[in-house]
Amino acid sequence: MAKVRRPVISRMRGWLAVVTCALMSVAVAAAPVRAEEEYYEDDFAPEQKLAQEHVLPVPRVTIYPGDVITENMLSDRPFFGAEYEGRGFAGSQGDLVGKVARQTLLPHLPIAATAVREPHAVVQGRPAVVYFQSGALIISATAMPLQAGVAGEVISLRNTDSGTTIRGVVQADGTVRVGLP
């Protein structure tokens, strides 16, 4: 088996190794520095950008799915960093008050824009008024929604009189408009 040769410094032992290391460190420290170059401590520090402060609304208490968000459930808190910029998080308390939580919102953490929704104007299983309007003619009936919906959303309903399934657009007042606009 062939012997592996180690570097000279690692083969030295005792006072010779100490003296050699000391001489090498003195030689490195005494290396000539060019006179035209000036070094400052700040030259070797990495550039640091100050993080932008973003004040975002956060829950004061745990908000569970289905809870309507009120003003006293929220407070503002500053966050620093690029990840808090943009449209990923709710920007103000006004964006959240009156909306419903889709998922559990934990205290003191920013609220994702997708974690809240508008409250349902029509609730599944609760009878809703359906109307058809053509000029001066208005026909209304009662129907059972097969799904919940917010204003402007198209949902399916079952006509309680005939049993047929119809589709209509949810209105802000909780009624459903069927037929062509």
Domain ranges for the chain, please list them: 53-117, 128-178
Determine the pLDDT at residue 83.
75
Same fold, 53-117 and 128-178: no
Q: Please tell me the distance from the alpha carbon of residue 176 to that of residue 133, in angstroms, as a whole number.
A: 11
Greatest distance between any 2 Cα atoms in the chain: 111
C-alpha distances in Å from residue 158, one per residue of 13, 66, 132, 170:
94, 25, 15, 14
pLDDT at 34 > cutoff 80: no
**Domain 128-178 class?**
mainly beta
Range picked from 45-54, 74-83, 129-138 for highest mean pLDDT: 129-138
Determine the pLDDT at residue 59.
95
**Domain 53-117 class?**
alpha beta
Collapse the DSSP code of 30 into the 3-class scheme (helix H, G, I; strand E, B; otherwise coil) and give the result.
Answer: coil
pLDDT at 4 > cutoff 70: no
Comparing CA positions, the residue from 18, 20, 22 lying closest to residue 30 is: 22
Indicate the helix (H) or strand (E) that contains 26: helix 15-29
Determine the pLDDT at residue 132.
92
Determine the pLDDT at residue 155.
95
C-alpha distances in Å from residue 98, one per residue of 18, 87, 105, 106, 172:
76, 19, 15, 18, 14
For range 85-109, the mean pLDDT: 89
pLDDT-above-90 percentage for the chain: 52
Confidence of residue 80 (pLDDT cuts 50, 70, 90): confident
